[in-house]
Amino acid sequence: METDTTTSFIVATSVADIRRDPDPASELVTQALMNVPAIVGEVAGEWTQIQLPDYSGWIRTSELELPIVRGVCDGDEGTCGVALPYSVVVTVPEAPVYVDAEGDEKLTDLYLSTVLPYINLTHPQRIRIALPGEAEGWISREMVDLRSNSELYPLQDIAVVTNYAKAFLGVPYLWGGNSWRGIDCSGFVQLCYRMGGNIIPRDADQQHDFLAHSIDRQHMQAGDLIFFGTKSITHVGLALNAHEFIHAEGQDFHRVIIHSFDPHHPDYHARLDSIVWGIKRVR
């Protein structure tokens, strides 16, 4: 696929690796979910430099497509290209997309917070959705919400944020990851808060600087973000209550796990307890 710098593209695969340099061995700086917009820049071989809503880096050019234009139109099968006021939003950690309205043949998987246009809502169990590259598939109604394009991530209770976080327990740690396949500490809290209605930056130090409301440790409560580091911020976790926090831990446990600041708790984490940089409240 040819790209040019005057056109916006979208990510065409369920989750795409974004690297620091145009090299498969380069650092994975983040990932982008299907249908996320991307402004293209320089092209180097099979790689294209892109600007995402929250990051920049290099993606394989084959993982980009022109924006989806299919949608529901009166009297036809959804090919007129009229923009729809609603989209489906994936509300579970991982959701299969099927080839047909019936049957178990799977086309791909989508991941939490992915947004796609729908084509048909008439089937009782599955919704027909538009995919990049003029493709389509079917997804279970139970795994998505139909939401207004003007409010894809409505503000929800903090319990929604922490419940999504706990649903990721055991998911493997992946530097730069931001999906059920693998996730890092800042991608984890960013994703959970996106589903709760707050858009925050991608990296932990950016999140710390973005959030204005600092909290004393004795006042920590569910939903607060805890930043860790000695000379700089190197880690972030999400408070579940006054002493427990959940985080994607990549040094010793290599997965999403719950730890505590209480020295008498079996999951006390002494090292992190000693390097709390600060605590910020998102709202």
Task: Tell me the catalytic residues.
Answer: 185, 235, 247
Is a pLDDT exceeding 90 seen at residue 167? yes
C-alpha to C-alpha distance for 96 and 83, rounded to whole angstroms: 25
CATH superfamily assigned to domain 8-65: SH3 Domains (2.30.30.40)
C-alpha to C-alpha distance for 28 and 14, rounded to whole angstroms: 16
Is a pLDDT exceeding 70 seen at residue 6? no
pLDDT-based confidence at 69, cuts 50/70/90? confident
Pair 207, 201: CB distance under 8 Å? yes
| Integer angstrom CA distances of residue 104 from 46, 100, 137, 168, 246 | 34, 8, 12, 25, 34
Pair 59, 18: CB distance under 8 Å? yes
- Indicate the SS3 state at residue 166: helix
Q: What is the pLDDT of residue 84?
A: 72
Instruction: List, for residues 113-148, the tens digit of each pLDDT value.
Output: 999 999 989 999 999 999 999 999 999 999 999 999
Q: What is the pLDDT of residue 85?
A: 86
Is a pLDDT exceeding 90 seen at residue 5? no
Instruction: List, for residues 194-207, the tens digit of each pLDDT value.
Output: 999 999 999 999 99
Assigned fold of 86-148: SH3 type barrels. (2.30.30)
Q: What is the pLDDT of residue 81?
A: 55
C-alpha to C-alpha distance for 28 and 139, rounded to whole angstroms: 29
Pair 132, 10: CB distance under 8 Å? yes
Pair 46, 73: CB distance under 8 Å? no
Domain with CATH 3.90.1720.10 in the chain: 158-281
Mean pLDDT of 55-67: 97
C-beta pairs of 92-95 under 8 Å, 24+ apart in sequence: 92/143, 93/167, 93/168, 93/171, 93/180, 94/180, 95/139, 95/140, 95/143, 95/144
**In percent, how much of the chain has pLDDT > 90?**
90
Q: Lowest mean pLDDT of 28-32, 68-72, 253-257, name the range.
A: 68-72
Is a pLDDT exceeding 60 seen at residue 104? yes
| Integer angstrom CA distances of residue 276 from 166, 184, 229, 233 | 22, 18, 6, 9
C-alpha to C-alpha distance for 81 and 191, rounded to whole angstroms: 30
Mean pLDDT of 167-172: 98
Is a pLDDT exceeding 90 seen at residue 215? yes
pLDDT-based confidence at 7, cuts 50/70/90? confident
CATH superfamily assigned to domain 158-281: endopeptidase domain like (from Nostoc punctiforme) (3.90.1720.10)
Domain with CATH 2.30.30.40 in the chain: 8-65, 86-148
Is a pLDDT exceeding 60 seen at residue 72? no
C-alpha to C-alpha distance for 176 and 186, rounded to whole angstroms: 9
pLDDT-based confidence at 80, cuts 50/70/90? low
Instruction: List, for residues 233-242, the tens digit of each pLDDT value.
Output: 999 999 999 9
Mean pLDDT, the chain, whole residue set: 94
